[in-house]
Amino acid sequence: MAKGIFLLGFMASGKTSVGRVLARGLGRDFIDTDALVAAVVRRSVARFLKADGEEAFRRIEQKAVAAAARRAARTGAVVSVGGGAVTRSANIRVMRRSGTVVFLDAPLPVLRRRAGKDGGSAKRPLMDQAGRIFERRLPLYRKAAHLSVAADAGSPEKVADAVALLLGPRLRPVHPAASPAAPLQRVTVRTPGSSYPVLIGNSWLGRLPRLLRPLVERSARRRCVLVADERLADPFRGFPGSVTGGAAKKLATAFREDGWDILFRSLPAGEKAKSFKSLLSLYDFFLANDVERRTPVVAFGGGSVGDAAGFAAATFQRGLPLVHVPTTLLAQADSSVGGKTGVNLPLAKNAVGAFHQPILVASDTSLLESLPERDLLSGLAEIVKMALVFDRSFARGLRDRWPGILARDPASLSWALRRSVELKARVVSADERDLKGRRELLNFGHTAGHGLEAAAGYGRFRHGEAVAWGMALAVSLSERRGWLKQAGDRDLARNLLARLSPPPWPCDLDWKRFAASVGRDKKRRGSRSVFVLLKDIGEPVRVTGVGLRELASAVAELMRPGKKEGAW
């Protein structure tokens, strides 16, 4: 598939500003065909049009579009194309051959208003004839484009995000899968009792069995238990060593080819995995298959499978080696790192659990390519959390590279994952068992988020969606206390949270149940819940005494219609 991205649109549709944001986020080159023309004629486009006329301009523009298309086809560059380029069919042909053409669509009144703000006809010499020209070009834009995006949907950042979301799989071929021999990024998590690597890369899981060998004590049989989300594999009934379908098959095959015996067990998807019924089924499976204390448990799935398999590994025969192979962004960024395992009670999430550090975390970004958009955004909530709590520069980087992350660009995903894991590793190293207060800061957004998950009924919200609401409430509570005063911090926090787009707060929420769930939070002090708020980005603070009335008021404020752009 061709690799370039061409942005078409009428004057003032934002092709250049959106193109720059999109290119920066995807880590690609940006080309403006008007700038190419200006470089050739050594004058501004406006001056050249006025002196030499439109026909002379179109001839040079055609050469500029052809040159940009050649480069875009080779490098995947983002190209902003002049508004009148569609009047020549040769331009349309070369763009469609060289990449994906996106039409930035906006009503003429919006375009006139924008043009008036940036200099009107002084900068755009054809704007005086806008109505007639717009009517003639509109069908040409629609015919030329593969995709259309509303260009009046907000800031250039928002429009660029919309373009990245819409392009989706079309962007992935630009970034070929990493070679099996490509070096992996490594983050080491050090705790008082042990240390272990978190390996991050693209399309590398075939190497995992070989890398795992030296980490497991030698035994007469090289065996492991592969515990997977049932959506990722189709086990053959009655034969626990068989995996006949899904993503788990490739991993199981890699282990077998390296000489391992595989015991396979699936768990229900989502929070159902974290039940005592699932836990007991794992214990019975371990006993029936003679699992011994040196047999590693490989948890292959999202955070729920990791938590449940991890708790089983922590408690069966007082501890089995644990390997996390997280398959969701949320699990790769957060739940697989730090050693927390657990299962749910009907009234409280993660109420029963244990600390059990893995011996290895294997994060492969290629597993995220088929991840539903909703789950990707849920995982991004945990990455945004780490940025807001610990690192302002990381938060700014997330804002700038958001389009590339949404497009599953391996380089952008690896960058975000590595920094998020580095930040969490520091916290875990300083406070492994959550007793010194440092690890408590990771609870930003989680006190209210866990309450929302439980009160709404597990499964209604993804974990990251509930945390996104919790973070928005925490930012609102911080503002009410006069914090987040450093220049740009409030807007940056709101901008990132708005991009997470969780479902609406449930109007039928049982507030008594919500209050009870918040009150049962593990980090409470006596009868008072602890909320982590922000004095500034990167400067978290613990606050007790946040009442239900204040929470309800903050929710009402966040749901108030007509809030300005950039707010929640």
For 218-233, how does the pLDDT look when each residue is reduced to its tens digit (9 = 90+)? 654 689 999 999 988 7
Each residue's pLDDT tens digit, 312-341: 999 999 999 999 999 999 999 999 999 999
Question: How would you label 14-50 residue by residue, b for 16+ Cβ within 10 Å and e otherwise?
Answer: bbeebbbbbbbbbbbebbbbbebbbeeeeeebbebbe
Tell me: do 126 and 213 sit in the same domain: no
Same structural domain, 238 and 346: yes
* pLDDT given for residue 103 in this prediction: 98
Q: Are residues 139 and 207 in the same domain?
A: no
Q: Domain boundary residue among 174, 199, 216? A: 174
Classify residue 94: in a domain, yes or no: yes
Whether residues 317 and 449 fall in one domain? no
- Residue 295: inside a domain: yes
Residues 192, 431: contact at Cβ < 8 Å? Answer: no
pTM for this model (two decimals) = 0.76
Segments forming the whole domain that contains residue 495: 396-407+444-558
Q: Examine the domain organization and report whether 160 and 199 are in the same domain.
A: no
Does one domain contain both 130 and 21? Answer: yes
Cα 68 from Cα 32, distance rounded (Å): 8
Residue 157 lies in a domain: yes
Q: Across the chain, what does the average pLDDT equal?
A: 88
The tokens describing 95, both together, are: 């763009």
- Tell which of 141, 174, 207 closes a domain: 174
CA 164, CA 166: separation in Å to the nearest integer?
5
Side chain identity at residue 12, one-letter code: A
The string of DSSP letters for 155-199 reads SHHHHHHHHHHHHGGGGGGGSPPPPTTSPPEEEEEE-SS-EEEEE
Residue 223 resides in a domain:
yes
Do residue 352 and residue 278 come from a single domain? Answer: yes
pLDDT-based confidence at residue 545 (cuts at 50, 70, 90): confident
| pLDDT top residue among 234 and 203 | 203
**For residues 165 and 241, what is the distance between their CA atoms, to the nearest angstrom?**
39
179 pLDDT more than 50: no
State whether 158 and 251 are in the same domain.
no
Which pLDDT score, from 0 to 100, does residue 523 have? Answer: 66
> Is a pLDDT exceeding 60 seen at residue 33?
yes
Query: Would you place residue 176 in the very low, low, confident or very high pLDDT band (cuts 50, 70, 90)?
Result: very low
Q: Does 432 map to a domain? A: no
Residue 568 has pLDDT above 70, yes or no: no
Q: Identify the helix (H) or strand (E) that includes residue 412.
A: helix 410-430
Q: Which of 336, 376, 563, 409 is nearest to 472 (CA)?
A: 563
Q: What is the CATH number of the domain that holds 551?
A: 1.20.1090.10
Asked if residue 420 belongs to a domain, the reply is no
* Residue whose C-alpha is closest to residue 313's, from 246, 348, 248, 359: 359
Pair 56, 100 in one domain: yes
CATH number reported for the structural domain that contains residue 66 in this entry:
3.40.50.300
- Looking at the fold, whether 400 and 302 belong to one and the same domain comes out as no
Do 216 and 129 fall into the same domain?
no
Number of domains in the chain: 3
**Alpha carbon distance 503, 232 (integer Å):** 26
Note whether 65 and 85 are within 8 A (CB). yes
Q: Would 458 be classed as within a structural domain?
A: yes
pLDDT 10s digits, 185-210: 999 999 988 899 999 999 999 999 99
- The predicted-structure confidence for 381-402, as pLDDT tens digits, reads as follows 999 999 999 999 999 999 989 9
pLDDT at 459: 80
Per-residue pLDDT, averaged over 10-38, amounts to 92
Mean pLDDT, rounded, for 427-456: 93
Boundary residue ending a domain (142, 174, 206): 174
pLDDT for the residue numbered 270: 84
Q: How many CB atoms lie within 10 A of CB 456?
A: 20
- Considering the domain architecture, whether residues 348 and 449 belong to the same structural domain is answered as no
What does the alpha-carbon distance between residue 417 and residue 202 come to, in Å, rounded to a whole number? Answer: 12
Q: From residue 293, give the alpha-carbon distance in Å to each of 20, 258, 264, 316, 317.
A: 55, 21, 17, 8, 6
125 domain-assigned: yes
Q: Is the pLDDT of residue 164 over 70?
A: yes
